[in-house]
């Protein structure tokens, strides 16, 4: 009996030692409600491959953020002392314990070190897995989800789990709960074979328009169509020729949008003759294409490249094309499509030693369709670029404060958290505090364009650089107006604005008129590139992250827009007013003034 008791005791001890510790038990890491408009469609093939991206925690990010604000604030002694790629990577690197823990977890599921693709800072780990294995290691169930309105499809789950001990090592894993569609911000194309926008201005047939406030004079035709010449006149940039070495500007392209070189040349012949025979550097990311078949020219890509590169010529231009777009096609071979081109671009550009100094993106999504964990990580990636001296411009969106319904009176603005609460719908990445969000204006003298996206983030708190300007706006807002429809403590956007309506482009060999904040963002980026030229020529560093400058000394170089509103959700939306507002931000650029201001520090 004594021997049996000892044997039983040893067996119990052995069992306890063999059992996994409690912190290896799976615990839910993240769950989401499916966004409105998405429905379960089918079960994905078990061999559908997923590029599973694991974001390790960045314990020193607050230190990077402090550096970012110091080198970006004109009143700080470190202004302009941007960090190197290596310095930034050191500040976002995870603890070795996090790296080891994630490695051990992946190895326990049969992966080898050679299967793991790690970012230079080792803060991202990517592994390719069939969906059947992803479901096993994440205790998740994936489905093919279909967007009812567009027909786009994604392979996603509404929740996943991790071993308990990994929760404080891992920030996010995707593709899991991200249902964002990352749409272009372009309004309807109007075909226009008439050349009146150019000929009338050249012939002086119409009386010019004078802005009584600024004293700027502009060709009358600019109230019909916007051209390079119109933007130069409106924003006080006539006769400036950039010449500094080392300057650069970039445009990002997604969703199979191709920038057509023949169209660009025709555009240059019409609007920028000195740029004829020049072109851009094309960089393919993750297999992205730039199809030069005339029929496949992209409206968004043509608009972005023609105006950003036309305004900033001869500054060195780059067009990025990043592969990955809906729909998911389960019968394709191999059956693989993660539909996350945006993260692929960020991975790529952060790994590069040389990055364009001003970059514009005309794509975005509703903030609420992007899980906070993912939005936070992407926002931190933008901060890395800002700390390295890169200015990032994003369109503020083309739906006012609403959900994109073309008729503001019928828009339904509901939350995606299961409550179906009525709220204004902020946009992302415009809501990230480390980006410069660009809203829209039209006509001259300028007023806010009705579709200009703007509002307040539900994810990110208002940054300090906005406190004075936004606080003043909120104080003046009629008491009780839109109570409960927006977060008054959130990061406010847009920051600035520019023309965004009836831009004359060349598309598939024909003139066309196009608009959206997708026009205002590359326009503003073009002016930032010119301001960088002023600084570089004087031996100063690039402007980098713009917002602390714009909300302080740069404010004197902006045209305040005080008329217009951005209707949505069955409301008139917000009004433009004196000072900052959630329609046109701080205003539009006055290059003549800004070129003097940027040399003060």
300 is catalytic: yes
Cis bond upstream, residue 327 (ω within 30): yes
DSSP 1-44: -HHHHHHHHHHHHHHHHHSPPGGGSEEEEEE-PPPTTEEEEEPP
With residue 474 as reference, give the H or E element that holds it. helix 467-476
- 581 labelled ligand-binding: yes
List the one residue out of 402, 302, 403 whose CA is nearest residue 362.
Answer: 302
Phi, psi (degrees; rounded to nearest 5) at 409: -70, -20
Catalytic residue among 325, 518, 520, 542: 518
- Are 268 and 278 within 8 A, CB to CB? yes
How far is it, in rounded angstroms, from Cα 119 to Cα 88?
Answer: 13
Catalytic residue among 123, 304, 367, 533: 304
518 is catalytic: yes
- 249 labelled ligand-binding: no
State the burial class of residue 249 (Cβ atoms within 10 Å of its Cβ: 0-12, 13-18, 19+): buried
List the one residue out of 152, 157, 211 whose CA is nearest residue 446.
Answer: 211
Residue 389 tokens read as 């001296």
How far is it, in rounded angstroms, from Cα 506 to Cα 288?
Answer: 22
Contacts of 4 (CB under 8 A, 6+ apart): none
State the burial class of residue 110 (Cβ atoms within 10 Å of its Cβ: 0-12, 13-18, 19+): exposed
First to last CA, the chain: 88
Residue 511 tokens read as 């003139």
- 560 labelled ligand-binding: yes
Q: Please give the annotated binding residues, written as ranges.
A: 560-561, 579, 581
List the catalytic residues.
Answer: 300, 304, 518
Q: Please give the annotated binding residues for Ca(2+), written as ranges.
A: 560-561, 579, 581
């Amino acid at each position: 009996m004594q021997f049996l008791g000892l044997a039983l005791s040893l067996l119990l001890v052995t069992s306890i030692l063999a059992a996994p510790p409690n912190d290896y038990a799976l615990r839910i890491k993240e769950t989401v409600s499916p966004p409105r408009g998405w429905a379960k469609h089918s079960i994905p093939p078990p061999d559908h491959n997923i590029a599973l991206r694991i974001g390790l925690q960045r314990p020193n990010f607050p230190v990077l953020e402090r550096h970012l604000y110091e080198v970006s604030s004109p009143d700080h002694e470190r202004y302009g002392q941007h960090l190197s790629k290596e310095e930034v990577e050191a500040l976002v690197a995870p603890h070795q314990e996090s790296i080891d823990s994630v490695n051990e977890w992946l190895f326990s599921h049969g992966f080898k070190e050679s299967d793991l693709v790690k970012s230079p800072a080792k803060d991202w780990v990517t592994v390719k897995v069939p969906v059947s294995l992803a479901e096993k290691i994440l205790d998740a169930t994936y489905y093919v989800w279909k967007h009812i309105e567009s027909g786009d499809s994604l392979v996603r789950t509404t929740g996943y789990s991790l071993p308990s001990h990994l929760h404080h090592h891992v920030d996010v894993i995707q593709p899991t709960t991200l249902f964002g569609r990352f749409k272009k911000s372009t309004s309807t194309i109007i075909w226009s074979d008439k050349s009146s926008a150019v000929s009338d201005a050249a012939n002086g047939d119409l009386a010019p328009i004078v802005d009584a406030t600024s004293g700027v004079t502009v060709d009358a035709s600019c109230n019909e169509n916007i051209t390079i010449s119109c933007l130069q006149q409106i924003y006080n940039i006539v006769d400036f020729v950039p010449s500094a070495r080392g300057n650069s500007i970039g445009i990002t392209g997604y969703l199979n949008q191709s920038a057509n070189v023949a169209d660009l040349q025709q555009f240059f012949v019409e609007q920028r003759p000195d740029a004829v025979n020049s072109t851009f550097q094309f960089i393919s990311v993750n297999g992205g294409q730039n199809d030069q078949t005339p029929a496949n020219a992209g409206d968004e890509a043509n608009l972005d490249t023609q105006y950003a590169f036309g305004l900033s010529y001869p500054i060195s231009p780059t067009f990025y094309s990043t592969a990955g777009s809906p729909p998911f096609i389960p019968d394709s071979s191999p059956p693989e499509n993660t539909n996350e081109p945006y993260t692929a671009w960020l991975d790529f550009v952060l790994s590069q030693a040389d990055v364009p100094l001003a970059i514009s993106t005309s794509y975005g999504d509703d903030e609420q369709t992007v899980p906070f964990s993912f939005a936070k990580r992407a926002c931190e990636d933008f901060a890395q670029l800002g700390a390295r001296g890169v200015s990032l411009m994003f369109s503020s969106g083309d739906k006012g404060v609403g959900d994109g319904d073309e008729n503001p009176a019928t828009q339904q603005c509901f939350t995606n958290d299961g409550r179906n609460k009525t709220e204004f719908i902020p946009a992302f990445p415009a809501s990230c505090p480390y980006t410069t969000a660009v809203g829209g204006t039209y006509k001259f003298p300028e007023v806010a364009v009705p579709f200009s996206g703007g509002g307040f983030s539900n994810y990110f708190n208002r940054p300090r650089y906005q406190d004075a300007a936004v606080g003043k706006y909120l104080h003046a807002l009629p008491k009780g107006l839109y109570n409960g429809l927006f977060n008054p403590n959130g990061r406010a956007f847009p920051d600035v604005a520019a023309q965004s309506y009836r831009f004359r482009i060349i598309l598939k060999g024909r003139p066309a008129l196009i608009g959206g904040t997708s026009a205002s963002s590359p326009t503003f980026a073009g002016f930032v590139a010119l301001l960088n030229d002023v600084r570089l020529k004087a031996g100063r560093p690039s402007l980098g992250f713009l917002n602390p400058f714009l909300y302080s000394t740069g404010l004197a170089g902006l045209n305040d827009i005080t008329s217009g509103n951005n209707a949505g959700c069955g409301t008139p939306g917000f009004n433009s007013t004196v000072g900052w507002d959630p329609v046109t931000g701080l205003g539009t650029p006055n290059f003549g003034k800004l070129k003097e201001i940027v040399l003060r520090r």
